[in-house]
């Protein structure tokens, strides 16, 4: 974090009045890159070891509306509205100054280490509101490619003013193209249809094998032979499918190395009921803001802190895996945190 909080640090260490009262004219902190621990009480914190050894931490009640992920990252369900709750004896903000550098283990251990020692500690009272906003951070830039298929979101119909259900969905599977790793639902990944591997049939551009004006990654019959791409597989393999398995037409090739689904003169046409699992990694940003709070030290001294402007504690990023199910009616999705 930047050293704006150092204003408070120096005031606490050097600018006490003669009668012992602490006077601080302002309390500001630059947006920090926050760290997270997932213990019995969740801890979000930031440290500064540059000049002044200091930390600011938010300890959250385990019953708060925030969910822990498997990897001790604090992850909440993405929402248009922030989660808000009050500062209290269970949800509290703590500012500390130490006599030496602070390691992450200080916050992420059940029993904090004996070093460094706390020189000053200020804790929030019952006044104040915590606001935690959780949003996707993989759709902000024009170059973002959320599903990793090689086509930017803005070329796949992404529109921040629309809901997912309202956006472009070529195969009508309930998964918008910008989140769909197989846009046309033919069981050949979009990334393989726009960038075939070296040594395959072609090695350039957005392919349109049958020259019908629809690129292969959006074409359900890539070679125009009347057999759907997804059905140009081996019927014997279809009879031996395990649950959740799907057949990729790419693996069925003649000796010339051209996949059957791209060979107009060779057709397989067995109805394939399975689909590739739409599993992608998503990144979210969690922003923490606190407003209307006060701080009190162990002796009951309360510095005069300006909280007219909300205190933006900082943010942290989390990456997790989500499985988007093909279900047009319910639009259900499952998450599998990694």
- The DSSP result for 161-187, as a single string, is TS-GGGS--TT-SSS-GGG-SSTTSSS
Instruction: For residue 254, give both structure tokens.
Output: 């003649």
For 97-120, letters b (16+ CB in 10 Å) and e give bbeeebeeebbbeeeeeeebebbb
One digit per residue, the tens of pLDDT, for the chain of length 338 reads: 343 344 344 344 434 444 444 434 344 456 889 988 864 558 899 998 887 888 999 988 766 556 554 334 455 678 888 988 899 988 899 999 899 999 888 888 777 788 999 998 999 988 899 999 999 999 988 889 999 999 999 999 999 999 999 999 999 999 999 999 999 999 999 999 987 665 454 544 688 889 999 999 999 999 999 999 999 999 889 888 876 678 899 888 876 778 999 999 888 889 998 899 999 999 999 999 999 888 888 888 776 665 556 888 999 988 889 999 987 443 444 444 44
State the first-to-last Cα distance of the chain, in angstroms, to the nearest integer. 27
Q: Output phi, psi for 193, to 5 deg.
A: -85, -25
CA pair distance 172, 44, nearest whole angstrom: 41
Name the nearest CA neighbour of 280 among 136, 132, 76: 136
CA pair distance 103, 82, nearest whole angstrom: 30
CA pair distance 76, 68, nearest whole angstrom: 8
Q: Check if the beta carbon of residue 145 is closer than 8 Å to that of residue 153.
A: yes
Cβ neighbours of 225 (radius 10 Å): 20
Q: How does DSSP classify residue 262?
A: G
Instruction: For residue 140, give both structure tokens.
Output: 């902000």
Cβ neighbours of 169 (radius 10 Å): 21
Q: Which contiguous run of DSSP H or E holds residue 320?
A: strand 311-324
């Amino acid at each position: 974090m930047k050293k704006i909080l150092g204003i408070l640090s120096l005031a606490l260490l050097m600018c006490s009045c003669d009668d012992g009262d602490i006077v601080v004219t302002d309390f500001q902190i630059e947006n920090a890159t926050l760290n997270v621990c997932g213990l019995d009480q969740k801890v979000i914190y930031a440290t500064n070891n540059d000049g002044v050894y200091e930390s600011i931490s938010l300890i959250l009640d385990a019953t708060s509306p925030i969910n822990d992920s498997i990897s001790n990252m604090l992850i909440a369900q993405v929402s248009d509205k922030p989660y808000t709750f009050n500062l209290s004896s269970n949800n509290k903000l703590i500012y500390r100054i130490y006599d030496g550098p602070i390691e992450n283990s200080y916050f992420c251990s059940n029993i904090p280490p004996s070093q460094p020692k706390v020189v000053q500690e200020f804790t929030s009272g019952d006044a104040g509101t915590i606001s935690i906003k959780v949003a996707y951070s993989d759709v902000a830039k024009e170059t973002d490619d959320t599903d990793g298929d090689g086509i930017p979101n803005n070329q796949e119909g992404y529109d921040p003013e629309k809901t997912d259900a309202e956006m472009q969905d070529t195969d009508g599977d309930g998964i918008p193209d910008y989140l769909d790793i197989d846009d046309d639902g033919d069981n050949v990944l979009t990334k393989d249809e726009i960038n075939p591997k070296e040594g395959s049939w072609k090695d350039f551009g957005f392919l349109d094998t049958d020259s019908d004006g629809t690129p292969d990654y959006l074409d359900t019959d890539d070679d125009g032979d009347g057999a759907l791409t997804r059905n140009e597989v081996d019927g014997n393999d279809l009879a031996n499918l395990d649950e959740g398995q799907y057949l990729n037409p790419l693996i069925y090739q003649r000796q010339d190395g051209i996949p059957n689904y791209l060979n107009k003169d060779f057709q397989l046409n067995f109805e394939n009921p399975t689909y590739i699992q739409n599993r992608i990694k998503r990144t979210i940003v969690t922003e923490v803001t606190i407003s209307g709070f006060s701080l009190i030290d162990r002796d009951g001294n309360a510095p005069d802190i300006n909280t007219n402007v909300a205190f933006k504690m900082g943010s942290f990023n989390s990456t997790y895996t989500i499985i988007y199910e093909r279900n047009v009616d319910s639009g259900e999705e499952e998450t599998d945190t990694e």
